[in-house]
Amino acid sequence: MSEVPILYVSWPNKAPTTNALGNIRQIRYFINVTSPPRKGFVDVWSINIFSPKDKPLEGHWRWFPAAYTDHLKRIFYRFNVYFRVLDDFNWGKRPQELNALKIYIGYLDKVLDAIWDEVRVAAENNTLNSTWRSTIFDKWLQIECLIGRHDADSLDAYKKAGKLFQDDPMELGKCLLNIFNRDFLNYRYITYLDWTSYESETYEWHNGTIWNYDANAIPKSDIEDIGEAMFRWMLKRDVSKDDKGMFLYMFIIFVDTRDVLIRRTSFW
């Protein structure tokens, strides 16, 4: 029996060292759509980006349930766009911004490593099938959709506000979801979160669909603007009204025998 993987990835206290960052940047992941099909799964490959282009060091890494396909694209894109900014931004003297970006990279690397360990253990224990769920990935997706930020302060504020992580990331956007067994002024409420709305309401740099989840497709001329928007978001600075805000909406529907009220609430 294989070891039990961790169930949650905490926010790092500091940025990875230069040596650690060098190791992190080498390996990237993608879904190989040319692989022989395996029903209910997608084939995740890894590639060493420093290997020769004519002889890339790449190959199968993990089989993953196909239900996660779009979410895998999202997290791979996020990882890659962070490195695009790290490598192509005109840094000058921006130590605070650089440190924030490195912390985000380190965190996402830890998340991916935990996901890969989790699916490896499931495969070794013969529990990996097309309906298998990743606890680590589900938690990341819940935080991503419900809060939009993964840092410790944002997560603590969300919890202190009495919010719950009960929504199923695989069900978000399909229909009205969890009916909580609670009453508020004789109303029952249902949360509804939508990945389509998530994509349309996030910042352009955050939205991988614009570039078909390919960070390398971003023109180098756009990196400066993307970097500035990214830093405002990471450091929680005021954003201009021209930016697409990170407004993630929860539709709270109050239902009783007389009427239905729909209220939209925004989260930072």
Q: Tell me what pLDDT residue 105 has.
A: 97
Among 24-28, 105-109, 227-231, 262-266, where is mean pLDDT lowest? 262-266
Q: What is the pLDDT of residues 171-201, one digit of tens each?
A: 655 433 333 333 333 333 333 446 777 777 7
Of residues 184 and 239, more confidence is placed in: 239
Instruction: Please report, as a single letter, which amino acid is at residue 153.
Output: D
Q: Tell me what pLDDT residue 203 has.
A: 79
Contact 188, 54 (CB under 8 A): no
Q: What is the pLDDT of residues 147-169, one digit of tens each?
A: 888 888 888 887 776 655 556 77
Angle between helices 18-26 and 95-124 (to 10 degrees): 50
| Distance, CA of 196 to CA of 204 (rounded, Å) | 14
| Distance, CA of 159 to CA of 154 (rounded, Å) | 9
First to last CA, the chain: 42
Mean pLDDT of 92-97: 93
Mean pLDDT of 250-266: 33
| Distance, CA of 118 to CA of 68 (rounded, Å) | 14
Question: Taking the domains of the chain in order of start, what are their residue ranges?
Answer: 18-267
Q: What is the pLDDT of residues 29-82, one digit of tens each?
A: 999 999 999 999 999 999 999 999 889 999 999 999 999 999 999 999 999 999
Mean pLDDT of 214-238: 91
Query: Among positive and negative, which fits the CA dihedral 189, 244, 73, 120?
Result: negative
- Tell me the average pLDDT of the chain: 79
Structure tokens at 144: 């991503």
Q: Tell me what pLDDT residue 143 has.
A: 85
Closest among 113, 83, 99, 115 to 16, alpha carbons compared: 99
Mean pLDDT of 81-101: 95
Q: What is this structure's pTM?
A: 0.79
Length of the chain: 268
Map residue 199 onto helix, strand or coil: helix
Most confident of 74-88, 141-155, 233-247: 74-88
| Distance, CA of 221 to CA of 60 (rounded, Å) | 34
Mean pLDDT of 98-107: 97
| Distance, CA of 186 to CA of 92 (rounded, Å) | 58
Map residue 27 onto helix, strand or coil: strand
